Structure 1
Amino acid sequence: MPFDLGPGTAAFLAVSLLGAAYVRGYSGFGFSAIFIASAALVTNPLPLIPVVFACEIAMTALQARGIRGHIDWRRVFAMLGGAAIALPFSVSFILSVGSDTARLAVSLIVLIMSLILLTGWTLQRRIAAPGHIGVGVVSGVCNSAGVGGLPVAAFMTAQPMAAATFRATMIVYLTGLDSITLPFLWHGGLVTLDTLNGLAIAFPILGLGIWLGSRRFNATSPDGFRRFAIILLLALATLGLIRALV
């Protein structure tokens, strides 16, 4: 078993992986935050972060056909440009101080943003490229702790955007973000043979979760999707706070 996991721990992680993949299939984000927070309850989650990122990339291959026509490429490229600026520094920082401090800060920011969004507030104008680059910088800093998608999801939820565009853009952005992050994690010694073995074991579970979540998305309304996204952000931020504090 990869990472010397016992049978009970492996079973718990498999169930957590299925739930996280379902949420990703439905909303386009939340997979990394859910799985890493769950894994932290039973093991050290840091070696699992490269597996999570590889899973994000694999899931995009499973979803590519259904999202192709809905991607906002301008947003994606602007945010990835910002993330690329931050990542060389943020990975080194996380490896030196640990991921809990970063997760605590991210969770506080996302929690406050989610509570504001819950009141119904939205940005009335499309944000220009510099704003998306800035969000990408924040996301790059956060992604070395495995939660780079949360600030982006909060930022995009505040903007007037079709649910299909939100979901597709989040999926493609997170794929690009994790693809940029993985070489830095490899350089830091976190990508090993166990990473590949973990991905191979996870792939069938990912496929089932993505299929179930995508079916749920196709049956939802735009208002229902936005409400789910905000509640998910609140839940993830709260879970991150509890984990970091406890």
Structure 2
Amino acid sequence: MPFDLSLGTTAALAIALLGAAFVRGYSGFGFSAIFIAFAALLTNPLPLIPVVFACEMMMTGFQARGIRGQIDWRRVIPLLVGAAVALPFAVSIVLSVGDETVRMVISAIILTLSLVLLSGWTLQRIIGPIGHAGVGVISGVCNSAGVGGLPVAAFLSAQPMQAPQFRATMIVFLTGLDMMTLPLMWHGGLVSGDTVRAAALAFPILGLGVWLGGRQFLAASPLTFRRFAVFLLLILSALGLLRPMMT
């Protein structure tokens, strides 16, 4: 098994992967945060972060045809510019700290941003390119721990956007973000043959999850499911924070 994981751990991660891919197919975000939060309960999540980024890019390939014409490039471009500024520094910091610290940081980030999403927070004025770039900086910092999509999801959720536009914009932004982060993690020694093998094993699971989530998106309200995804993130992040206290 990749990363010397046991059969039981691998099976549990495969189930989590399917569920997280379903969330991504439905809402356009949440895949990385859900999967990494779950993985942190079972193993060191740091080597799995590059796998998650590869999975994000593969899922965009599955979804690309259905989101054309719905992407808000005026938001995507400044968000990516801001993230590009922060990523090199943030990745170097994360690679230098211990495994337990990474787990705690991931859980704390997810918990805080999930509470922001649940609070019903809304922006009182229109935010321009500079504001979007600032959020991109925050996202870049968070993506060094694999959860860069959540601050952007919170930011866009607080603005008047149609669900298809929100979903498409998140998908494209996350793809660009992961394309920038993955080479930095490769340079830091986190990408290996196990990364490639794990991504290859994940491919059919991702396809199934995204297909099921996409079908559900066409039949129901994405807002309702985003709330469900955030409640799940809250539970997983709380467990991640409590785990060190129980060991």
| 1:230 to 1:127, Cα distance in 2 relative to 1, 3 A | farther
| 1:104 to 1:207, Cα distance in 2 relative to 1, 3 A | closer
**TM-score, normalised on structure 2?**
0.92
Deviation at 1:238, TM superposition (A): 4.2
**TM-score, normalised on structure 1?**
0.92
Return the alpha-carbon distance in structure 2 between the equivalents of residues 48 and 30 of structure 1.
Answer: 16
Describe how 1:56-135 pairs up with structure 2 within 5 A. Answer: 56-97=56-97, 98-117=101-120, 121-135=121-135
- Determine helix, strand or coil for the equivalent of 2:42: coil
Residues 1:195 and 2:198 aligned together: no
Which runs of structure 1 show a deviation greater than 4 angstroms over 4 or more consecutive aligned residues? none
Structure 1: which 5+ residue stretches go unaligned?
none
- Determine helix, strand or coil for the equivalent of 2:123: coil
Deviation at 1:147, TM superposition (A): 0.7
Alpha-carbon displacement from aligned partner over 1:56-110 (angstroms, at most 9, x marks no partner): 0000011000001100011111100000010011011111224234324423431
Structure 2: which 5+ residue stretches go unaligned?
none
Pairs aligned (count): 240
Q: Which residue of 2 aligns with 1:153?
A: 153
Q: Which residue of 2 aligns with 1:142?
A: 142
- Determine helix, strand or coil for the equivalent of 1:146: coil
Return the alpha-carbon distance in structure 2 between the equivalents of residues 130 and 231 of structure 1.
Answer: 31
Deviation at 1:133, TM superposition (A): 0.4
Q: Which residue of 1 aligns with 2:171?
A: 171
Q: Which letter does structure 1 place at the counterpart of 2:241?
A: A
Structure 2 contact 113–151 (Cα < 8 Å) conserved = yes
| 1:238 to 1:134, Cα distance in 2 relative to 1, 3 A | farther
1:229 aligned to which of 191, 203, 226: 226
Structure 1 contact 28–170 (Cα < 8 Å) conserved = yes
- Determine helix, strand or coil for the equivalent of 2:145: coil
- Determine helix, strand or coil for the equivalent of 1:3: helix
Return the alpha-carbon distance in structure 2 between the equivalents of residues 230 and 78 of structure 1.
Answer: 26
Percent identity over the alignment? Answer: 64
Structure 1 contact 122–160 (Cα < 8 Å) conserved = no
Structure 2 contact 2–194 (Cα < 8 Å) conserved = yes
Return the alpha-carbon distance in structure 2 between the equivalents of residues 124 and 219 of structure 1.
Answer: 31
- Judge which range, 144-153 or 124-133, deviates more: 124-133
Return the alpha-carbon distance in structure 2 between the equivalents of residues 104 and 30 of structure 1.
Answer: 14
- Judge which range, 107-116 or 126-135, deviates more: 107-116
Q: Which letter does structure 1 place at the counterpart of 2:28?
A: G
1:240 aligned to which of 211, 219, 237: 237
Deviation at 1:50, TM superposition (A): 0.4
Structure 2 contact 60–175 (Cα < 8 Å) conserved = yes
Structure 1 contact 107–238 (Cα < 8 Å) conserved = no
Return the alpha-carbon distance in structure 1 between the equivalents of residues 12 and 116 of structure 2.
Answer: 31
